[in-house]
Structure 1
């Protein structure tokens, strides 16, 4: 590790500060103890984590190139290895184990964040469980989507040959003139091709591979409350399905080809070797995971805001940061979003909620509607407004704790 810069901090020093922009370095602890805190406590996470030798912090901001989502202070005199964003490939070549630790930690963290977001956003969402595959089949069968229903039923029979719903699954497949087993996948082949609307994997299905999208688009969706909720549309270069191979849990969502799709498949057995042989793959994966964790943290922080107006402006600010738009006086951004779309993003679907947007525009001259799309003409003013709402929420939480 001598290639990297060694830095030291005396006890009680700030090493990184939440909200600070242009964070290009992350740190691996050599000696001493560091406390990591967040202004917005994440549900299910220790708000005061104490880290020691071998642990790391600041990776999310450094690799996603967003503002810090945590603060770190030294509890003792500390010695740290400082790694910059552009040195990450070198770190992987010198120590694949460190890269694998970061990837595994991130996958665990992201799974935790995703579970919490799903629970807060969709009250009746269920935990990943192969037993649920039959219900997924039933959902698609009722929708008369026989190809997707077939995939789910066949997956259920494959993974639970003695399951409770085996007779019903077989009956459904017979009535649709479909075989009980899907064509076997050749896991030795890295290149995979899928036709439009073909299911790549199904939520609740045990996973063996992650995929790099080479060509085409892939829709990521989830069945919640008997509705198919679209979570994302992936483009060429995106990586998906990594959670299943990193933390051995079933798929948390389904992946469906949108148009003809070409994928590169990487399985558990060759993943670590691939990371070592191609450092750019690990860099890409950790950058992607960092971006997802940053977004998930922002979503969680937003869900914890009680004021609907606060949630609206906070979502707009997240979109400013996500799109790498400069935060400066008179800096304009057209969000390419209508009022309904924005409200839907934060789960506000009552037609009365549109009055919130009207009120927001009335109170803040730098926000307007232009041809039905929301426009902000001053990102610096938007940032000030978001900071005001966050400070207000923190004060309210403190007062609640004192009661």
Structure 2
């Protein structure tokens, strides 16, 4: 994992999107306002999708951060002594974006939402910067999961389904840029899904006609990939 100088206490982000900005002094402060918890190897601290009202400082041991991508569990990072995590969920109130599992015997310092936010509010500028960064990281995190889907047709269909479920409008001209796929391939897949009555296309706006059927189609592509290797 490529952590950028987080031990120095500057505001930085590693390549997996985890924020580090607390100096050693502030990490000591966290230990003062939090309480300790021990985890056995393999013990789950939280799951992706769980509500988040605590953040964690690793006093000893290692924590694996994992995320469900399609039908696989991917390890995004392994955090070690001195690292902290879980701050994104307690700042913006969103569910956990990944799971955290003890890789070894681990000791944590746990800081609850109110205690953490009190520390952040002591510096309004840092509070603003963190909120802005986390908003951007959430958006990046949402797009990152599509990049693990190698099959372009399944990647497009999954994006269409998730975006439809969120209630957002889908502009056919933006899909290729968002997913890193050639526009010609996007139009080919969209046309195929329209012919199969899974989508409708009104101007540049794509609408999912039946989310359940589209989900079944995505599962069909996954099975096809699995058995045609």
Q: Within 5 Å, which residues of 2 pair with 1:109-120?
A: none
Runs of 4+ in 1 over 6 A off after TM superposition: none
1:37 equivalent among 66, 77, 83: 66
**How far 1:303 sits from its partner (Å)?**
2.9
* 11 and 341 in structure 1: CA distance in 2 versus 1, 3 angstrom threshold: closer
Instruction: Identify the residue that residue 188 of structure 2 maps to in structure 1.
Output: 355
Instruction: Report the Cα distance in structure 1 between the residues aligned to 2:178 and 2:140, rounded to whole angstroms.
Output: 13
Q: SS at the partner of 1:20?
A: coil
Note if 1:338 corresponds to 2:182: no
CA distance in 2, matches of 1:34, 1:394: 32
* 1:291-370 correspondence to structure 2 within 5 Å: 291-316=135-160, 319=163, 325=166, 333=167, 335-351=168-184, 353-363=186-196, 365=198, 367-370=199-202
Structure 2 distance, partners of 1:38, 1:71, is 6
Q: Is 1:298–1:318's contact at 8 Å kept on the other side of the alignment?
A: no
Query: Distance in 2 between the 1:306 and 1:295 partners?
Result: 20
- The SS at the match of 1:79 is strand
Give the TM-score taking structure 2 as reference length: 0.61
- Structure 1: unaligned runs, 5 residues or longer: 41-45, 94-276, 326-332
TM-score w.r.t. structure 1 length? 0.39
- Compute the RMSD of aligned alpha carbons: 4.1
Partner secondary structure for residue 42 of structure 2: coil
- What secondary structure sits across from 2:125 in the alignment? helix
Give the 3 Å change call, closer, same or farther, for CA 304–283 of structure 1 in structure 2: same
Measure, in 1, the Cα distance between the counterparts of 2:130 and 2:210: 32
User: Aligned pair count?
Assistant: 195
- Quick check: 1:88 aligned with 2:102? no
Which secondary structure does the structure 2 equivalent of 1:82 belong to? strand
**Alpha-carbon distance, 1:55 to partner:** 1.1
Structure 1 pair 39–83 and aligned structure 2 pair: CA distance change class (3 A) = same
User: Cα–Cα, structure 1 residues 393 and 30, in superposed 2: closer, same or farther, change >3 Å?
Assistant: farther
- Measured in 2, the distance between the counterparts of 1:68 and 1:283 equals 20
Q: Residue deviations 1:16-59, cap 9 Å, x none?
A: 22x3243343321233332333445xxxxx94744333211233
CA contact (8 A) 2:163 2:169 kept: no
SS at match of 2:146: helix
The structure with the largest alpha-carbon Rg is: 1
Establish whether residue 28 from structure 1 lines up as the match of residue 57 from structure 2.
yes
